[in-house]
Structure 1
Amino acid sequence: MSGCLMAGALAIALGPGQDFALTWTHSVEKIGWHESWELTPQGLQLTGAAVRGSGAGMEPGPDARLVDGWLVWEPQLPPIPELVLAASGATGDGWRLCGTECVTLAARAGQPVILKPCPGSSARP
Structure 2
Amino acid sequence: MPSGADASGALPAARDARVRFEPLARFTLAWTHSIEKTRWEEDYRVQRDAAGQPRLRLTRARIQGTGAGMEPPPDAVRRGGWYEYVPANQPQGALRLTRSPYTADFELCPAGRPCRPMGTWLPSDGDITLLWACDRVGNP
TM tier relative to shorter chain:
0.7 to 0.9
1:112 and 2:128 are equivalent in the alignment: yes
> Structure 1 or 2: larger strand share?
1
Query: Which residues of structure 1 form unaligned runs of 5+?
Result: none
Divergent runs of 4+, >6 A: none
Go from structure 1 to structure 2 and tell me whether the alpha carbon gap of 1:70 and 1:109 turns closer, same or farther (over 3 Å shift): farther
Cα deviation digits, residues 3-54 of structure 1 (max 9, x gap): xx1012111221xxx2110010000100111100111113111111101101
Aligned with 2:132: secondary structure? strand
Identity of aligned residues (%): 35
CA contact 1:105–1:113 (8 Å) conserved in 2:
no
Query: Which residues of structure 2 form unaligned runs of 5+?
Result: 5-18, 50-54
Equivalent residues, number: 115
Cα deviation digits, residues 53-101 of structure 1 (max 9, x gap): 011121112211111100111111235221010134443x211112255
1:56 and 2:71 are equivalent in the alignment: no
Q: 1:1-125, aligned counterparts within 5 Å?
A: 5-8=1-4, 9-14=19-24, 18-42=25-49, 43-91=55-103, 93-99=104-110, 101=113, 102-105=115-118, 110-120=126-136
| 2: CA distance, partners of 1:38 / 1:12 | 13
Go from structure 1 to structure 2 and tell me whether the alpha carbon gap of 1:78 and 1:25 turns closer, same or farther (over 3 Å shift): closer
Question: One-letter code of the match for 1:112?
Answer: I
Question: One-letter code of the match for 2:133?
Answer: P
Go from structure 1 to structure 2 and tell me whether the alpha carbon gap of 1:66 and 1:113 turns closer, same or farther (over 3 Å shift): same
Tell which structure's C-alpha radius of gyration is larger.
2
Go from structure 1 to structure 2 and tell me whether the alpha carbon gap of 1:39 and 1:74 turns closer, same or farther (over 3 Å shift): same
Question: One-letter code of the match for 2:108?
Answer: L
| 1: CA distance, partners of 2:91 / 2:31 | 21
| 2: CA distance, partners of 1:111 / 1:44 | 21
When structure 1 is superposed on structure 2, of 28-37 and 106-115 the one drifting more is 106-115
TM normalised by structure 1 equals: 0.78
